């Protein structure tokens, strides 16, 4: 069984239901799902791709499945709708962008790992030859999460990493969900590679003392830095809207802006605290030396 603490629940995939509901007159616009004119009560959904609000009619809100990518209701009769074998539904707009071929997914992940390592080469080296990557459907990912004790990681987890120590060397298994948009796939891959780096570079006693939210926050920091290097600030902000690190991801990004990555890496290896402190950000420089 793989030793792993990470979790990627679906907070950043979740749509916000009923953000607003108000009567509108005919001709005030079309429903984002069925394209019919909006009348009566209208519901506002958060589009996870554009970051904007989309108006949806009451019927679509009640009966239509949600797009796995953007979270909006999907008219399954519309041309271009994609239903994956594991029953995820993807709207026509987002279906054209997702990565379906395993070889393409593995290529993108290799490029993302190399890009991040070049970006952070002065501070850390990511594992490479002792990492196995697998691209799987949702049932297989859930089974992997259960195997590593993370079955409660969230209904829409995107990835998982596990590590075993064999003959004095770690062997890492990174499992990623298929059918993701390219940036979601590669940012998730970067996040999971960060878990592998932690297992190899954080001393065992420190690893046991490190808070789970802090570990996730550090991994999310590397994913954010990767997305920033691509100019994808919308993708970075989508990650930061996630609440599953209990604010640690934002604290890590703030610490990066204020102190730099070297201090963060030192804290991960030798810090006195289990988590970063919002009240005392300078404690990131408190090391157990």
- Tens digits of per-residue pLDDT, 97-144? 999 999 999 999 999 999 999 999 999 999 999 999 999 999 999 999
The answer, yes or no, to whether residue 8 has pLDDT greater than 50, is: no
Alpha-carbon distance of 177 to 158, in angstroms, equals: 5
- Whether 46 contacts 237, CB under 8 Å: no
- Whether 268 contacts 208, CB under 8 Å: no
The answer, yes or no, to whether residue 16 has pLDDT greater than 50, is: no
The pLDDT, as a whole number, for residue 241 is 86
pLDDT tens-place string over residues 67-87 = 999 999 999 999 999 999 999
The pLDDT, as a whole number, for residue 1 is 34
The pLDDT, as a whole number, for residue 146 is 86
pTM of the entire predicted model: 0.87
- Residue 288: band (very low, low, confident or very high) from pLDDT cuts 50, 70, 90: confident
Alpha-carbon distance of 33 to 54, in angstroms, equals: 9
Q: What is the mean pLDDT of residues 266-273?
A: 97
């Amino acid at each position: 069984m793989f030793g792993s603490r990470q979790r990627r629940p679906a907070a950043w995939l979740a749509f916000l239901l009923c953000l607003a509901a108000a009567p509108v007159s005919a001709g005030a616009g079309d429903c984002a799902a069925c394209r019919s004119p909006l009348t009566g009560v209208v519901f506002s959904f958060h589009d996870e791709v554009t970051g904007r609000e989309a108006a949806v009619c009451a019927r679509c809100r009640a009966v239509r499945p949600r797009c796995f990518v953007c979270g909006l209701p999907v008219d399954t009769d519309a041309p271009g709708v994609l239903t994956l074998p594991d029953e995820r539904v993807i709207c026509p707009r987002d279906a054209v962008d997702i990565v379906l071929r395993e070889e393409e997914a593995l290529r993108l992940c290799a490029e993302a790992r190399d890009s991040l390592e070049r970006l952070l080469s002065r501070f850390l080296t990511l594992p490479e030859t002792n990492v196995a990557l697998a691209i799987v459907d949702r049932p297989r990912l859930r089974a992997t999460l259960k195997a590593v004790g993370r079955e409660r990681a969230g209904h829409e987890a995107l990835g998982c990493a596990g590590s075993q120590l064999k003959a004095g060397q770690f062997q890492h298994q990174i499992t990623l969900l298929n059918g993701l948009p390219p940036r979601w796939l590669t940012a998730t891959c970067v996040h999971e590679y960060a878990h592998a780096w932690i297992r190899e570079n954080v001393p065992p006693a420190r690893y046991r003392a490190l808070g789970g939210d802090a570990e996730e926050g550090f991994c999310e920091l590397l994913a954010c830095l990767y997305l920033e290097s691509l100019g994808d600030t919308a993708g970075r902000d989508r990650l930061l809207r996630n609440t599953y690190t209990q604010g640690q991801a934002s604290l890590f990004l703030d610490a990066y802006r204020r102190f730099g990555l070297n201090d963060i890496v030192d804290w991960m290896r030798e810090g006195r605290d289990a988590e970063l402190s919002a009240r005392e950000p300078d404690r990131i420089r408190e090391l157990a030396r």
